[in-house]
Structure 1
Amino acid sequence: MIKSCVTIALVPEIKSGPWIFWEDLETGMEKASRLGFDAIELFTASADAIAIPRLKELLEKYNLELAAVGTGAGKVIHGLTLTDPDSKIREKAISFISDMIDFGATFGAPAIIGSMQGNILPGNEREETMSWLAEGLNQLGKQAESKGVTLIYEPLNRYETNLLNTIEDGSKFLESLETKSIKLLADLFHMNIEEGNLEESILNWGKYIGHVHFADSNRRPIGFGHTSMKEIAEALKAVGYTGYASAEAFPYPNPDEAAEQTIKEFRKWFR
């Protein structure tokens, strides 16, 4: 059964991003629980930004699961990516993500690699850059497996990366890796930009999908854009997806109403 999830971000440097709840972890969790969400997706500045016993206490108190942990702070705060031409920076990126894998694994949650994948920078060859990405993902995927979790890789739209933009491209790249412990994040916002047909992409490559970002075509909550959810929901069910549909969406028109809109649409399509 597909489960509902809402995002909570605690990193001031990314406050303008697509997160439903901000700043106050417990308040966000209380609201998520009251609305009936199954889980939260958490964005922190580092793996030790929240004490593990405290997070365990709050998850139990509000009967929530931890669906995933984001790693974007590694790039936003520290400028780290897996494809930086500087090998020392790549090593630091791997170390940062490694710590996030360990943090998430405490709760059975995967880490997500989105912006930390980086880009092919001017003057660098695609083949070499993709080899750096493969090297980092192989190492991190094996670590995730050793911790009993998967690692989530997110194809981003062309305005955010020039590495891998579609579910098909991401799936074929995963097939080339040594590790088999990495799944894709199907972000409906990015897919609306890059995919010719969202339903077909899910049906064709659904076995590689390990997480879904539940956001509309304009990055607002589902129902506030032109995404056709009927076909997408049917495709996700058809491929047997049983993970989370997580609202990585702008808090439009405000966090509370965005959360209410999200859970309403989630129940409409997945319950």
Structure 2
Amino acid sequence: MKLAITAAETAAAHAPIVLRGPFADTMRQAAGIGFDAVEYHLADPDTLDISRIRHVAKATGMAVASIGTGPAYIHDGLSLTSPDAGVRGAAVGRMLRFIRLAHAFDSVVIIGLIKGQIRECGDAAAYDRHLASALENCLPLAGELGVTLVLEAMNRYECDTLNTIDECLEFVKRFNSDRLKIHIDTFHMNIEEGDIRKSIEAGGARIGHVHIADSNRMWPGRGHYDFLETVQTLKAIGYTGALSVECLARPTPEEAAQGALDTLRMVTGAVRQP
């Protein structure tokens, strides 16, 4: 499992993004700390200079593990389940561009906040219909390019649907596609899952990405979450993707990043991967 860390050019002070600044700079910073990969969060895929990032990745031995799409929802108001058909169409168009970007780096694409909320859509049945339609429009390109989309299970205080691993599993199984998996997050699981180990086992091969933060959203080691159990369970189910740190950048981004890396290395026995 590669150890990755979240990065964005800009983010709110309370956002669980650790490194902030130009993407090439944060990749170098993550490499210097000792991570294997970065997870880039951005609103518009066209703002990422692919050739420059590839150059830095080659020079540092880094990878781009994942692409976070949340800023497209936060900053541009795009939602795959908006009651406005024009907004839904723009969101699907943006997702297709995210898929092409992910293809350039062999990354997964996260479907988190961009999936919207039932309360914004106004109706649970309409929400389900809109999200299913959006995925049906995205999965052909994902299949063609070999890109995996990961649907994030988020806690009830941040999203009013698809809160648990079981709920996300039930939804993604409807598509019978190996290009649609679920995305788990230790912070959200700590709130929603009754038995985290059993929930991860139930997810099995359908788990496509993992976010790491402690029970209080701080870096792992600053709360009470059992990371050793989670990592051991992920190894047992054969998960080989990234463990991506998505925690608060406190007390400083550098301290949060180093603290997270130290903890993850301890529980995984990891060393910097070639």
Q: Same fold (TM over 0.5)?
A: yes
Counterpart amino acid of residue 265 in structure 1: T
Structure 2 distance, partners of 1:156, 1:257, is: 26
Could you tell me whether the CA contact under 8 Å between 1:11 and 1:73 is conserved in 2? no
Q: Aligned residue for 2:10?
A: 11
Q: Secondary structure at the match of 1:220?
A: coil
Q: Aligned residue for 1:237?
A: 235
Counterpart amino acid of residue 244 in structure 1: A
Q: Aligned residue for 2:44?
A: 46
Root-mean-square deviation over aligned CA pairs: 1.5
Could you tell me whether the CA contact under 8 Å between 1:9 and 1:23 is conserved in 2? yes
Could you tell me whether the CA contact under 8 Å between 1:11 and 1:45 is conserved in 2? no
Structure 2 distance, partners of 1:123, 1:265, is: 40
Q: Secondary structure at the match of 1:219?
A: coil
Structure 1 distance, partners of 2:31, 2:121, is: 49
Q: Secondary structure at the match of 2:94?
A: helix
Structure 1 distance, partners of 2:181, 2:135, is: 11
Structure 2 distance, partners of 1:150, 1:7, is: 18
Q: How does 1:1-271 map to 2 (within 5 A)?
A: 2-12=1-11, 14-121=12-119, 124-271=122-269
Counterpart amino acid of residue 179 in structure 2: S
For residue 79 of structure 1, report the CA deviation from its aligned partner. Answer: 0.8
Counterpart amino acid of residue 10 in structure 1: E
Report Cα offsets for 1:145-184 as digits up to 9, x if no partner: 1111111111111112112000111011111125331111
How many residue pairs match? The answer is 269
Structure 2 distance, partners of 1:258, 1:24, is: 19
- My pick for the range that moved more, 143-152 or 238-247, is 143-152
Structure 2 distance, partners of 1:83, 1:26, is: 33
Structure 1 distance, partners of 2:154, 2:3, is: 22
| Percent of pairs with identical residues | 35
Could you tell me whether the CA contact under 8 Å between 1:138 and 1:178 is conserved in 2? no
Structure 2 distance, partners of 1:179, 1:239, is: 19
Could you tell me whether the CA contact under 8 Å between 2:83 and 2:121 is conserved in 1? no
* Structure 1 stretches of at least 4 aligned residues deviating more than 4 Å after TM superposition: none
Could you tell me whether the CA contact under 8 Å between 2:40 and 2:64 is conserved in 1? yes
Q: Secondary structure at the match of 2:173?
A: helix
Counterpart amino acid of residue 33 in structure 2: L
Structure 2 distance, partners of 1:75, 1:7, is: 17
Structure 1 distance, partners of 2:251, 2:119, is: 36
Could you tell me whether the CA contact under 8 Å between 1:155 and 1:185 is conserved in 2? yes
Counterpart amino acid of residue 227 in structure 1: Y
TM-score (normalised: structure 1) = 0.95
TM-score (normalised: structure 2) = 0.94
Could you tell me whether the CA contact under 8 Å between 1:11 and 1:43 is conserved in 2? no
Could you tell me whether the CA contact under 8 Å between 1:84 and 1:118 is conserved in 2? yes
Structure 1 distance, partners of 2:145, 2:238, is: 24
Unmatched tracts of structure 2, length 5 or more? 270-274
Structure 2 distance, partners of 1:218, 1:142, is: 38
Structure 2 distance, partners of 1:42, 1:264, is: 21
Q: Secondary structure at the match of 1:201?
A: helix
Could you tell me whether the CA contact under 8 Å between 1:108 and 1:149 is conserved in 2? yes
Change beyond 3 A, Cα 1:24–1:125: closer
Q: Secondary structure at the match of 1:56?
A: helix
Structure 1 distance, partners of 2:121, 2:34, is: 50
For residue 122 of structure 1, report the CA deviation from its aligned partner. Answer: 6.4
For residue 48 of structure 1, report the CA deviation from its aligned partner. Answer: 1.1
Structure 2 distance, partners of 1:5, 1:82, is: 27
For residue 67 of structure 1, report the CA deviation from its aligned partner. Answer: 0.2
Structure 2 distance, partners of 1:161, 1:140, is: 22
- My pick for the range that moved more, 47-56 or 118-127, is 118-127
Could you tell me whether the CA contact under 8 Å between 2:81 and 2:121 is conserved in 1? no
